[in-house]
Amino acid sequence: MIQWLTIAQLEEALAGVPPIGLALRGFFHGRVSANLSAVFERAPETAHMEDVGDVEIWAGAIDQTPFTVTGHRRGELTSFQIALPIAIQDGQLDIRMLYVVESLSPLFHAARNPLVESLPFVGGGFGVVPRGSDDPVFRSPRRADAETVATYLDDPARYEVAILPVAPTRWIVAGPRVGSTISRLDVVDTRRAADELAAAWQAEHHHAIDVFEGQLPA
């Protein structure tokens, strides 16, 4: 069941999570041919995003898992991003968080141009690849995760699970853990950028920030 919150209420709750607050991160992106106000039966708050313009934002929690949905409508299509806590399982984003997307609306099964966020990993892995494309909409070192995403997208004629080559090394900057979640996280292309971001977060939050090469530890 959805507990709707104002943005201010959600931000206050997230800021109170020890030791440095909890950040939400984009998890599921895509486009739908629907007005999200009608889907959620709730009016959004509005905000202005640079390079995008005015966007609509819904905030709330499902089974005590906080979320935001940001929508930008152009013509008949609404581009959306669903942001969730950074839940980790065995060093990767916990794909079971798709239950939050499912609980919001079954509409998201049929999203156009979907993208499910993933974290870097070392070695071979599996991707969910649209047929006729070379760009995966999700990738993981675990085949089961790729199969879960492919099943969620609910269109076997469009998506398949494929073995992917090793990706270039990337760097992960991670804040303190809060149970199975990480307070904040970002992925960058160089060690220098990772060290600079970690130093900035440490100065802001007065708490140790870690940098990982290639992937998070399991």
Read off the tokens for 12: 């206050």
- Paired sense of beta strands 159-164 and 125-130, if any: antiparallel
Condensed to tens digits (0 to 9), the pLDDT of residues 51-71 reads 777 899 999 999 999 999 999
Read off the tokens for 175: 């804040």
Distance from the Cα of residue 102 to its chain's centroid? 14
Instruction: Give the pLDDT score at 132.
Output: 87
Does pLDDT of 1 surpass 90? no
CA distance 90 to 142: 10
Does pLDDT of 155 surpass 90? no
Instruction: Give the pLDDT score at 47.
Output: 86
**In the chain, what are the domain boundaries?**
2-164, 171-213
Instruction: Give the pLDDT score at 71.
Output: 96
Condensed to tens digits (0 to 9), the pLDDT of residues 161-190 reads 999 888 889 999 999 999 999 999 999 999
DSSP string for residues in 15-83: HTSTTT---EEEEEEEEESS-HHHHHTSPPEEEEETTTEEEEEEEEEETTEEEEEEEEEETTEEEEEEE
In the 8-state DSSP scheme, what is residue 123? S
- Reported in sequence order, the residue ranges of 75-165 that DSSP labels E, i.e. its strands, are 77-89, 92-93, 112-116, 125-130, 138-140, 159-164
